[in-house]
Structure 1
Amino acid sequence: MFIAAAVVSVLLALVLLASAAGKLSKNPQQVENMRKLNFPADKVWLLAAAEIAGAVGLVVGLFWWPIGVAAAIGVIAYFVGAVVVHLRANDKEIAPASVLLLVAAAAAVLVPLAA
């Protein structure tokens, strides 16, 4: 079970870090997406910080499972918020956030089972 938890956690952490890097480097595609969602440009760094914290927590959680579960729950909350923001902005492109929400839920279940 540890291998499954490690694969899910590490892959999700890598996706979160890539997304955070795009936000911090002001990737034009992400800037446009934030504009479309009416998200304040000066607050995007907070989203990146949350993604980095989630990624670190998921990886650390492989060695101490309570941190991993807490990080996975935080990532779940992050992506629930992302889905809500997309829907409130009448943006129907919720598939990426929804898939990552499900992956975070899988991590939340797998990490304590691997302990």
Structure 2
Amino acid sequence: MFAAYVTVTIFASLLNGSAAVVYLIGHEFPKAQLDMKRLPRSWAPVLGMLLAAGSFGLLGGFAVPMLGTLAAAGLVLYFIGALLAHLRVGSRTLVNWAGFLATAVAALAVNLVYNWS
């Protein structure tokens, strides 16, 4: 179980960390996504910081298990909010969202099983 916990947690951290970097450097993709969802572009750095906090929190969970659990739960909530933003404007392009959510749910699941069972 330890190998699954470490593998999934590191993968989720890298995935969300890379998304955070894309948001924080001002890349056009997040701006286009925000425009499509009719959200202000000023939210890009905030969303990037939330992703970065989740990414670092997952890694911090190796030292403080509760931190990892809370970070994974926060990422799940973040991506539920992203789904609501997609649905609000009628967007049905959810492949990327589904991958990110599945990774966050997997990180939460292995965290709960490994640290709290």
Give me the TM-score of the superposition, normalised by structure 1: 0.92
Question: Counterparts in 2 of 1:1-115, with a 5 A limit?
Answer: 1-115=1-115
* Alignment partners' CA distance in 2, 1:3 and 1:108: 15
Which amino acid counterpart does residue 59 of structure 1 have in structure 2? Answer: L
For the aligned residue pairs, the C-alpha RMSD in angstroms reads: 1.2
User: Moved runs in structure 1, 4+ residues, more than 3 A?
Assistant: none
- Is 91-100 or 38-47 further displaced after alignment? 91-100
In structure 1, the gaps of 5 or more residues are none
Local SS of the residue matching 1:63: coil
Which amino acid counterpart does residue 55 of structure 1 have in structure 2? Answer: S
Per-residue deviation at 1:39?
1.4
Give me the TM-score of the superposition, normalised by structure 2: 0.90
Per-residue deviation at 1:12?
1.0
Per-residue deviation at 1:76?
0.2
Asked if 1 retains the 8 angstrom alpha-carbon contact of 2:24 and 2:49, the reply is no
Per-residue deviation at 1:114?
2.5
Q: How many residues align?
A: 115
Asked if 1 retains the 8 angstrom alpha-carbon contact of 2:72 and 2:108, the reply is yes
